[in-house]
Amino acid sequence: MANPTQTTKTGDASGRGSVSGYKVNFPARMRVYSEAEINAVVNVMRNAEAQTQGEYLRQFETDFKAYTGARHAFAVDNCTNALRLAATLCRLAPGDEVLIPAYTFCATAIPFGSTGARIVWTDITPDTWVADPHDIEKKITARTTTIVVVHLLGMPVDMPAIMEIARRHNLRVVEDCAQAPGASLNGQKVGTFGDYGCFSFHGAKNITTLGEGGVLTVRSDEDAALVPGLRHNGVRGFPAGRERYWVPAMSNVDMDLDSLWPNNFSIGEAQCALGSQLLKVLDELNDVTIAQAARLRAALAEIPELTVARIPDGYRHIFHQFVMHFDGSAFGKNRNDLLDFLTGEAGVRAIVQYHPLYRYPLFQKLGAAEQDCPILEGWWDNSFSFPWWIGMPDETLDYLVDSVKAGIASLKG
Ligand SMILES: Cc1ncc(COP(=O)(O)O)c(C=O)c1O
């Protein structure tokens, strides 16, 4: 039975936030800011000369490169626009095919679909629940130009396998790292394997630059030379050595963008100053969610009806969310029955996320209804997530486990 007393007091447009009547909510943000982080913002408000495109942008980009090991990093206003820049640099055109995971947030696909390229949906692996390299290779045709993968929920994709396929077929690779800042494979950070890495600092992410923000990492020097102009309406700093700085004009109108249309995807200085502070604590924050997940995974191992993702050796899965699969077929029940119990009697605001994108009317109407994703089809309708934030008390985690046990016992009758 759904909880009858639901009212959102605060929260965001996606429905996250405190809802009365629940013992455990699905919060709108992952943590509160520290004083050092607040001071970094206030300092820019008081003291910085430029409020955008200034020294804090350059520092944040330098810090991001140092943190990830990326060759080039460009801060932008959000990850959707980082993906849009990647799509622009891939030079996608109508008739091209781009391979995109069907199991992800819609923002992964929109920037690529809007180029006019054809979206070909790719499946998940049966055990890690992110992009399956075998399925990707199977779907490559003579028209494929680009592979997009998503390190969804904080779980890294098998990037060595993806890059090997891309090299053999001469394809570009975009990594959507929106949910995985700090995740890595054998010590190499996500966002540094492919041609482009796209990061989000949206309000619900592990680190957030005041609600919106992102970074595009870029491998090639040629692409990197284009990004500042593409990000900011073609405006770029003058190269050193111009004698008359005002010639031909105050903004640099004579630098070539290789016939690509620019945009304004700039991010403010206060957000960049905050971003630099947040990078200092990112590993610590990820350690907290990893420890929370370890506690839950150990306890859930006793429940045969629940499965969690396999974490291959050498993977740092940062647990941006905690997703499980429920199999109640032995007693004729499904995920929705379990969620009725959790959200009702137990007061746990569990959720279901990332509906397969080919099921959305948005994508269907835009010509991306076709799919061949049998693993996702067989898995998704019985998947769900617990409420999740950084620093959940042990008692809350234990309550989630007890609730799910009680729910399954009640469904079994
Ligand atoms: C997988 C994925 N890709 C892209 C995005 C878009 O990020 P942003 O909100 O910063 O545009 C998100 C954000 O929620 C996401 O989860």
CA distance 76 to 170: 28
User: Is any atom of ligand 1 closer than 6 Å to the C-beta of 202?
Assistant: yes
User: Is any atom of ligand 1 closer than 6 Å to the C-beta of 104?
Assistant: yes
β-bridge pairing 214-218 and 306-307: unpaired
Expressed in angstroms, the distance from the first to the final Cα of the chain is 16
For the domain spanning 282-412, the CATH number is 3.90.1150.10
- At 409 the pLDDT is 98
User: Is any atom of ligand 1 closer than 6 Å to the C-beta of 363?
Assistant: no
Q: How far is the CA of 104 from the centre of ligand 1 (A)?
A: 9
Give the closest residue to 217 by CA, choosing from 32, 20, 15, 63.
Answer: 63
CA atoms in the 13 A half-sphere facing the CB of 79? 28
Residue-wise pLDDT for 253-271, tens only, equals 777 899 999 999 999 999 9
User: Is any atom of ligand 1 closer than 6 Å to the C-beta of 125?
Assistant: no
Q: Are 118 and 96 in contact (CB under 8 A)?
A: yes
Find the angle CA(162)-CA(164)-CA(170) to the nearest 5 degrees.
Answer: 95
Give the position, in ligand 1's atom list, of the atom nearest the Cα of 104: 1
CA distance 194 to 223: 13
User: Is any atom of ligand 1 closer than 6 Å to the C-beta of 292?
Assistant: no
| SS3 state at 33 | coil
- At 391 the pLDDT is 97
DSSP state of 155: P
- At 236 the pLDDT is 76
Alpha-helical (H) ranges within 90-151 are 110-113, 133-138
Q: Which amino acid is at 326?
A: F
Q: Are 352 and 339 in contact (CB under 8 A)?
A: yes
In CATH terms, 35-278 corresponds, of 3.40.190.90, 3.30.1130.10, 3.40.640.10, 3.90.1150.10, to: 3.40.640.10
User: Ligand 1 pocket check: which of 30, 79, 124 to mutate, most ligand atoms within 8 Å of Cβ?
Assistant: 79
Residue-wise pLDDT for 176-197, tens only, equals 999 999 999 999 999 999 999 9
Extents of the domains making up the chain? 35-278, 282-412
CA distance 144 to 139: 9
What Rg value do the Cα atoms of the chain yield, rounded?
22
* Atom 8 of ligand 1, nearest CA residue: 79
User: Is any atom of ligand 1 closer than 6 Å to the C-beta of 137?
Assistant: no
Give the position, in ligand 1's atom list, of the atom nearest the Cα of 176: 3
Q: How far is the CA of 29 from the centre of ligand 1 (A)?
A: 14
C-alpha 210: how far from chain center: 17
- At 303 the pLDDT is 97
- At 43 the pLDDT is 98
- At 6 the pLDDT is 46
Q: From first to last of the 413 residues of the chain, give the pLDDT tens digit.
A: 344 444 455 677 777 888 889 999 998 999 999 999 999 999 999 999 999 999 999 999 999 999 999 999 999 999 999 999 999 999 999 999 999 999 999 999 999 999 999 999 999 999 999 999 999 999 999 999 999 999 999 999 999 999 999 999 999 999 999 999 999 999 999 999 999 999 999 999 999 999 999 999 999 999 999 999 999 998 877 767 778 878 887 777 777 899 999 999 999 999 999 999 999 999 999 999 999 999 999 999 999 999 999 999 999 999 999 999 999 999 999 999 999 999 999 999 999 989 999 999 999 999 999 999 999 999 999 999 999 999 999 999 999 999 999 999 999 99
Give the position, in ligand 1's atom list, of the atom nearest the Cα of 200: 10
Residue 224 makes CB contacts below 8 A (sequence gap 6+) with: 71, 72, 74, 218
- At 100 the pLDDT is 98
User: Is any atom of ligand 1 closer than 6 Å to the C-beta of 80?
Assistant: yes
Q: Are 316 and 285 in contact (CB under 8 A)?
A: no
Give the position, in ligand 1's atom list, of the atom nearest the Cα of 204: 14
